Amino acid sequence: MPTDDRPLRALGFLTIGLFEESDPRAGHESTLRLIELGERLGFTSAWLRHRHLQYGISSPLTVLAAAGQRTERIALGTAVTPIGWENPLRLAEDLATVDLLCGGRLNPGISVGPPARFAEVRDALYPDTADAEDFGYGRARRLLDLVRGASTGGFRGTEGIEEYSDRVQPHSPGLAARIWYGAGSLGSARWAGENGLNLLTSNVIKDEGPDPDAVRADPGGYFAETQAAQIRAFRAAHPDGAAARVSQGLVVIPTDSATPGQIARYREYVERRSARTATAHGPARLRFAPDLLGPSAELAERLSAHAGYREVDEVAFALPFTFGHDDYVQILTDLAGALGPALGWRPAA
């Protein structure tokens, strides 16, 4: 955990990569420019969310392949790719290809479960096999095995002038150790640990407490303690124990260099979203962490008191969804120049 003798080791940022339907190229280019800026500012990592049939990046690996050609050092991740939308063998090929192109910097984050709004997309996505698809952990195990080099069970050898492999090609050594799982419950955190993955924990978790009414006085504190318990369960199940990697992804907005107009907009955004933290949502009883807004010195104090944050030494703070490019530049500049150092992190050379 980050302390005076174990400071924050890795500072990353996460973006959804919004774009306008009428001009999608501009939004994708903005995201690439933010990743380039992140490298110049010394960030450890940059992560892309995955959005299908929305106005956010639907193909993070494609964008990260481009980012890999425009950067040299910064780690590049997905947080997360919902693999219910993916064929594990084809995804394994794409992951290895992008990892090789960016020099071993890819950090794929994955999650399981049926595709979002599956009843509406199933005929377009799986017209013949929707009822037979495995959207559980078995699908993730298939992907992990293929990335690790397991046999596909196919032909290996030469037929005519064609040479065939029975494992995914290209193979990228070391990639499997950089796969992360996006967990939000005790069960999924334990599964990630048992399978030797790294853990991505975000600003959304599953409320598994016995008395939801007890959290009303301090929903943020309840979220933090629940998240901390999930992290501890992950490490207890992981072969690496306390050394197992965990990255936290709260929405954190420093205002050190923000203009009055930006601060007003940021505050309105946070206040508009704050009501959702007071209760659990939907059948899965999802809970949301409060967004953190303010000067870096204040944010550092609030994070240091956060039970979930105290369990990690890596973060990938999430950029708010609806801000403009100049806003993101200000936030990234303050994260790297003020908040990160306040938490003990130092930018890469």
Write out the two tokens for 266. Answer: 């940021």
Are 46 and 31 contacting, i.e. CB atoms less than 8 angstroms apart? no
Whether residue 1 lies inside any domain: the answer is no
H helices of the chain, where?
Answer: 24-41, 60-70, 88-101, 118-125, 137-148, 186-194, 219-237, 260-274, 296-304, 325-334, 340-342
Is residue 309 domain-resident? yes
**Tokens 């064929």 sit on residue:** 87
Each residue's pLDDT tens digit, 201-258: 999 999 987 655 556 568 889 999 999 999 999 999 999 999 999 999 999 999 999 9
Least confident interval from 3-12, 176-185, 340-349: 3-12
| pLDDT for position 278 | 86
Q: Which of 289, 299, 302 is nearest to 335 (CA)?
A: 299
In a domain, 154, yes or no: yes
| Any domain includes 35 | yes
Predicted TM-score (pTM) of this structure: 0.96
pLDDT at 193: 98
Show the domain range for 75: 10-342
Mean pLDDT, the chain, rounded, equals: 95
Mean pLDDT of 175-197: 98
What's the pLDDT tens digit per position in 1-32?
455 556 899 999 999 999 999 999 999 999 99
Do the strands 180-182 and 106-111 form a parallel or antiparallel pair, or are they unpaired?
parallel
Bridge-partner residues for 204, per DSSP? Answer: 288
Average pLDDT over residues 176-190: 98
pLDDT of residue 1: 45
Instruction: Tell me, yes or no, whether 204 lies in a domain.
Output: yes
Q: Report if residue 230 sits inside a domain.
A: yes
pLDDT band (50, 70, 90) for residue 303: very high
pLDDT digits (tens, 9 = 90+) for 287-300: 999 999 999 999 99
Distance of CA 307 to the CA centre of its chain: 20
Number of separate domains in the chain: 1
Residue 323: give its domain's CATH number.
3.20.20.30
Q: How far is CA 111 from the centre of its chain?
A: 10
Domain-located, residue 349: no
Is residue 3 situated within a structural domain? no
Report d(CA 159, CA 301) in Å as an integer: 65
pLDDT of residue 243: 97
